[in-house]
Amino acid sequence: MAQNRDSILVVGSGVAGLSASMSLARQGYNCILVEKAGSLGGHAAGYTCKAINGKCQKCGACLVDDLLARFGDFPEIQVFLETRIDRIERKKKGFTASLNGKYGLKDINCGAILLATGFKPFDPNEKSNLCFSSIPNMITAVELEAMLRDKELPYRPSDGRQPETIAFVQCVGSRDPKRGHPYCSQVCCGYALRMAGRLRDLAPKTKITFFFMDIQTFGRSFSQRWASLQQDFIWINEIPGDYFVSDGDRVGVSVEVEDEIVDLSFDMMVLSVGMTPTDDQLTYQQMLDLSMSSEGFMLPDEDRGVFVVGSASGPMSIEKSITDAAGSATRVIAYMEGAR
């Protein structure tokens, strides 16, 4: 049945791209999955489990392994790894996309395009007062994810020692209209607090401080957990102004505490970086004549066969990407069936 239909091109194989292509394939549509990296899975494939004391914290990072395991049931999905899209041409019916990558150059025809190109973690170098590149023990939360996944424990880049005091700075690159990010990235409070919990579970003596504006509700049991989270960590409802190296290798900040500016220092600092549009976004916008949402991400053009799914359309958790992917599959099919 699937042979008679046009294929659907899915760009990006993170949580959204994988979910959407499997949903479409299960519903009888041919999918072509193009991924610029050398492996499937996107960002989430590099995240750590955040379970605490044998209890899942519902971050959803392991779901990507589930998706990849299920992906084996769909040999009919054509996968192009290490492949980019040079050009997309609109035809009377559908599109021709010129793929360029590991398998050489190839033109493929498709009836609809699903952009699941994901996000880019905010680059802290864009915010000069963080002095990110000159403070060795300041890392991003993405780096912490990888650290915990690959080494189980946190360590300081400067000397490999385990930090005893850690500070998380929230909203780095989020809620930042000046830099074109006028949105809450939705995921940072969740990942930061879950990782902080995990860190404390692994090394109970670790003292963890949070600099924050508003802590966002994440997960279903937030209201019960928030009370104990408030006890577990030190909470400072400010974002520091200056960041500097202190005592040789510690991370210092100046911050307002109880109406006075004080300097505090930590063994390590984690920047809870937000989600920003990918560097490819502009290319796709130009190729497909797409406009930008008020949050600065790609807007779809569903009436003309272009769909944007997952965090390519705006900040989104793994959980929401999965829902969004399933929802988009229905809209793509409606388009393919000519129902719209």
Partner 1 sequence: MVDSNLQTEDRDVLQDLAERYGVEGVRSCYACGTCAAGCPARRVNPAYNPRKIIRMLVLNEAKSLLEKDTIWLCSSCYTCQERCPQGIKITDLITALRNLAVQQGRSPSGVGMQANLVRSQGRLYALDEFDDKKRKKAGLPSLSPQIEEAVRLLKEES
Partner 2 sequence: MNLRTIDKRVMVLGDGETAVRLSKALNTSGLDSYLLWAGGTPPEGIPEGIAVELSARLVALQGQVGDFTATILSSDQFIRKLAGSVMVAFESRTEPVFDVATAPMHEGVATLEDAEAILRGERQISGDVKTVVFLDRLDGASTPASSERQFNAILSFLDRGIKCYAIGCQMKVASRNLELLYGRARDGGCVFFKNDFLSISFTQGRPLIRFEDLILHEEKEICADMVILAENFMPGASLPELREILGVETDKAGFMQADNVLRLPLQTNRRGVFVVGPSRAPVTRWDLDQEIPAAVSQVKELFAWAESFPYEEVISFDIDACARCLTCFRSCPHGAIHFTNRPNFLALACQQCGICTAFCPNEAIELRDMEKDRIKGLIANERKGSDSAPVVVFACEKSGARILNSIPSEDTLLRRIRWIQLPCGGTLRTQYLLDAIGNASEIPERVMVLACHEDNCRSGMGTIKARATVERVKSFLDSVGWNQTKIEFISTASNEAERIRKLLAAS
Q: Is 227 exposed, middle or buried (0-12, 13-18, 19+ CB in 10 A)?
A: exposed
Give the nearer residue to partner 1 in terms of CB position, either 53 or 129: 129
Write down the least CB distance from residue 149 to partner 2, Å: 6
Main-chain phi, psi angles of 96, to 5 degrees: -120, 125
Name which position in 222, 239, 245, 302 contacts partner 2 (CB under 8 A).
Answer: 222
In 3D space, the residue among 64, 112, 105 whose CA is nearest the CA of residue 83 turns out to be 105
Q: Does 62 bind partner 2 (CB under 8 A)?
A: yes
Give the nearer residue to partner 2 in terms of CB position, either 65 or 159: 65
Give the nearer residue to partner 2 in terms of CB position, either 55 or 91: 55
Give the nearer residue to partner 2 in terms of CB position, either 104 or 339: 339
Segment 70 to 129, residues that bind partner 2, using CB under 8 A: none
Q: How far is it, in rounded angstroms, from Cα 113 to Cα 307?
A: 6
Asked if residue 267 lies in contact with residue 135, where contact means CB atoms within 8 angstroms, the answer is no
Binding at 304: pick from partner 2, partner 1, none (beta carbon under 5-8 Å per type): none
DSSP-assigned beta bridge partners for residue 140: 271
Q: Which residues contact 33 (CB under 8 A, 6 or more apart)?
A: 10, 13, 17, 18, 21, 40, 77, 78, 79, 80
Q: How far is it, in rounded angstroms, from Cα 213 to Cα 95?
A: 45
Asked if residue 242 lies in contact with residue 130, where contact means CB atoms within 8 angstroms, the answer is no
Which residues are near partner 1 by CB under 8 A?
129, 171, 175-179, 213-214, 237-242, 253-256, 259-261
Binding at 7: pick from partner 2, partner 1, none (beta carbon under 5-8 Å per type): none
Q: Does 49 bind partner 2 (CB under 8 A)?
A: yes
DSSP 253: E
Write down the least CB distance from residue 129 to partner 2, Å: 21
Identify the sign of the CA torsion 309, 310, 311, 314. positive
Write down the least CB distance from residue 207 to partner 1, Å: 21
Q: Does 312 bind partner 2 (CB under 8 A)?
A: no
What does the binding site for partner 2 look like in residue numbers (CB under 8 A)?
23, 26-28, 47-49, 51, 54-56, 58-63, 65-66, 69, 149-152, 175, 182-184, 186, 189, 214-224, 226-227, 230, 237, 259, 294-295, 314, 316, 318-320, 322-331, 333-334, 339
